[in-house]
Amino acid sequence: MKFLDKQEEDLVHAASIETLKDMGVLVRSPSVLKILGDAGADIDEKKMIAKMSEGMVNDAIKKAAKEFVLGSRDGKHDLKIPTDSIPFVGSNGIGTYMTDLKSGEKRETTRKDIADFARLADSLTGIDFFWSNVTAMEVPTSLHMIYAQWEAFQNCTKNYGTLTLSARDAKVQIELGSLIAGGREQLRKKPLFHSLCCVIAPLSFERGAVEGQVELVKAGIPVISMSMSLGGMSAPITLAGTITNANTENLASLVISQTAAPGARHIYSSESTPGNMTTGNIVYEAPETMLISAATGQMAKRYGLPAYTGSWGVNGAIPGVPMSFCELSAIAMSMFSGTDIAAGAGGLDQAKGGSLEQLLIDAYIWDNYKSFLRRFEITREKIALDVVKEVGHGNTFLTHPHTAKNFKKELFFRDKAKAAFESTNSTAMIPEARKAVRKILEEHDVQKLDKEVLKQGEAIIKNIQK
């Protein structure tokens, strides 16, 4: 799906270059400012502003890895990006509550809940990688991301997506990943996790996240430079202003990655939306959001970078599909933005909470919806003129062997049971979803980690907590 024409793409790019050159970005880290300064950026140490030249941006674009693999623990779920057709979908991240599987009531979440979400994600064909849907609220706040990663590694074989909040976080995340992979070099060759290193709109980088980003890219871990620019709040209210702000932040983050580690694996990302003018919330279901997604997806492809510019998941206030067709369409159409990966499955209430039932529902809907994004060939063989001649004028293709041979390859047949989960403004599917989740959690076996690896991992966790 296109939103910008070539002239508009050029204008967004030029405005981003102008912003980085004249205004720069706020980088709240002396060490990262020094890295940028040594590479030629104009640094104001007092204001912590880094101004970047067009040459620095072009150099970063040139150096960035254009394709790579998000590895899996079992080797069966490796994800090569960019993808040439259907995007890879992951779960939602770090909610602070969930709906209880038995009572349906909201409650705080624990390590056990992360393990359950991970095992469920491991079993679902509609989930390609796992972000921890919820947070272990019983552990120290500063260790939330570490515990989530460790539970994910134990209970899911798919690639894991984390959030990095400090250089220390990054170092422990790398240590745990290396333990699972069999060493730092093995992890570098096929990273078993990737990390979200958010830019703080407008045009600023917090110390912990940006220093963690530097540690990660040096170790070969893919990072996602997610801009969550909110039009009218942290970006101009105009779509053009929001798109340009998101693009500028991504280019600045890319420069940081490539300056710290030339050739770094870096994913261009935007979850930018208009700001909700009555609540202040992010608005994934706004009709403008899919246009922002399309535009930022175009910019990612302009630079040859893997993209995370789409979102997936109903993300309603309660489990089920409690939203209108128009709201669901806006979210679903973001998947036509050229995105290579997307996340959001299993989330509630704009990512504040999570639901096991919702993870299953979102995965089931995606299993059917992704049929829209299949790749088709238009070739002379597919046109099948020889078959047309054999059938002749006014006759039927139904009985021709060509039809019997190819109809299952060309047509998608929706799973009727899964399609029943898609009724808008309905929660009728919750009992069945709850039953399916329980069955999976009771029966699904995840490939176990080696006992010595488990022992070493627990020692790392215990030591960092101490």
Q: How many CB atoms lie within 10 A of CB 410?
A: 10
Q: What percentage of the chain's residues is helix, strand, coil (to nearest 5)?
A: 45, 15, 35
Q: What is the CA radius of gyration of the chain?
A: 23
- Helices 167-181 and 207-218, interaxial angle, to 10°? 30
pLDDT at 105: 96
φ/ψ bin of 24: left (φ > 0), alpha (ψ from -120 to 50), beta (otherwise):
left
| Structure letter (DSSP) for residue 120 | H
Give the DSSP letter string of 165-189: -SHHHHHHHHHHHHHHHTSHHHHHH
What gap in Å lies between CA 117 and CA 156, rounded to an integer? 9
Intervals of the chain under pLDDT 50 = none
pLDDT at 421: 83
Q: How many CB atoms lie within 10 A of CB 305?
A: 25
β 79-81/310-311 pair status = unpaired
What gap in Å lies between CA 398 and CA 412, rounded to an integer? 17
pLDDT at 343: 97
What gap in Å lies between CA 175 and CA 177, rounded to an integer? 5
Q: Which of 424, 418, 317, 308 minimizes the C-alpha distance to 360?
A: 418
Question: Residue 229: which residues within 8 A CB-CB, separation 6 or more?
Answer: 201, 202, 235, 242, 245, 246, 249, 270, 272
Question: Could you give the strand order of the β-sheet that contains 129-131, starting from the edge strand earlier in sequence?
Answer: 307-308, 266-270, 223-227, 193-196, 159-163, 129-131, 88-91, 341-345, 310-311
- Pure H helices in 195-238: 207-218
Question: Residue 215: which residues within 8 A CB-CB, separation 6 or more?
Answer: 167, 170, 171, 174
The type of residue at 451 is K
∠ Cα 90 91 92 (to 5°): 125
Query: Cis ω on the peptide bond leading into residue 82 (within 30° of 0)?
Result: yes
pLDDT at 409: 87
What gap in Å lies between CA 4 and CA 299, rounded to an integer? 9
Q: Which of 98, 143, 175 minimizes the C-alpha distance to 359?
A: 98
Specify the fold of 62-373: TIM Barrel (3.20.20)
Question: Residue 325: which residues within 8 A CB-CB, separation 6 or more?
Answer: 424
∠ Cα 237 240 242 (to 5°): 55
CB 444 within 8 A of CB 163: no
pLDDT at 420: 82
pLDDT at 427: 87
At residue 195, the 3 state secondary structure works out as: strand
pLDDT at 428: 86
Q: Tokens for 251? A: 């280019």
- Which residues in the chain are classed under CATH 3.20.20.480? 62-373
Tens of pLDDT, residues 155-204: 999 999 999 999 999 999 999 999 999 999 999 999 999 999 999 999 99
What gap in Å lies between CA 7 and CA 466, rounded to an integer? 56
Sheet strands (E) in 87-183:
88-91, 97-99, 106-108, 129-131, 159-163
Q: How many CB atoms lie within 10 A of CB 463?
A: 9
| Backbone angles phi and psi of 73, in degrees to 5 | -65, -35
CB 266 within 8 A of CB 276: no
